Amino acid sequence: MKRIFVLLILVLALAISGIIPAAQEKAQTAAKPAATAKDTPAPAMSPEEKAAMDKMIEAGTPGEPHKFLVQFVGMWQAVVKVWHAAGQQPDISEGISLHRMVMGGRYLQQTFKSTFMDAPFEGMGFMGYNNVLKKYEGVWMDNMSTAIMTSEGSLSADGKSLKSVSTYSDCQTGKEKTSRDVLKMVSPDKFVSEMYDIGPDGKEFLMMEITYTRDTRPTRGPQRPPVTK
């Protein structure tokens, strides 16, 4: 009986001596960080790949044309005039607009608050310069539509105004419609946005004009309720 007990002790000791090193090895393997892509050096780019990468970087870098957008940065008081038809008196309202450059100076973001037909109006737009297509592009959306308006344009010869064509959904006809737009800087503290439409007589008329005056008072903000005239 004693011999059997000794043999059991011996077998148990051998088993433990095998289990412990295996467990230690397993623990060391688990503690060792797994190899990642970061540890593996990237293969050298071919001349063609480097040329493609350089072109992509160039296309994504803000340049001289983006400086036209920077001058609109700030808080602005806005006077909005809307003509429903040529020769009529316009509806006039006031609003406030915040403009800032976003995404590393690539886009100008506009946040606008006003009233339209005695109802609260708010809109947001983005404008940028497409280095690939060599043109200014914009998008606009507001709380009185479910459609996004897009625009494309270029600077005038003197570089002071942006002339664009906007495309939007006409709720009256159910079709796409275009307008001619002009954005011009009058002075460092004033700029005007004009939107032209075609009347029933086939003639172009000024449909909307927004005059922006820079608001330099630090306490003003985009949440200020606009005044309707």
Alpha helices (runs of H) in the chain, residue ranges in sequence order: 2-31, 47-59, 67-70
How many whole angstroms separate alpha carbon 3 and alpha carbon 176?
A: 99
Does residue 91 sit in the same domain as residue 167? yes
**pLDDT at position 25, please?**
53
CB 184 within 8 A of CB 171: no
**pLDDT at position 9, please?**
41
Q: Write out pLDDT tens, residues 160-217.
A: 999 999 999 999 889 999 999 999 999 999 999 999 999 889 999 999 999 999 998 7
Does residue 99 sit in the same domain as residue 3? no
Q: Write out pLDDT tens, residues 138-161.
A: 999 999 999 999 999 999 998 899
Angle at 75 between CA 195 and CA 107, to 5 degrees: 65
Q: Would 103 be classed as within a structural domain? A: yes
Q: Would 88 be classed as within a structural domain? A: yes
Phi, psi of 71 (to 5 degrees): -65, -15
pTM score, two decimals?
0.75
Q: Would 59 be classed as within a structural domain? A: no
Domain total of the chain: 2
CB 210 within 8 A of CB 190: no
Q: Would 2 be classed as within a structural domain? A: yes
Does residue 28 sit in the same domain as residue 114? no
Domain of 86: which CATH number?
Answer: 2.40.128.20
* Residue ranges making up the domain that contains 203: 64-214
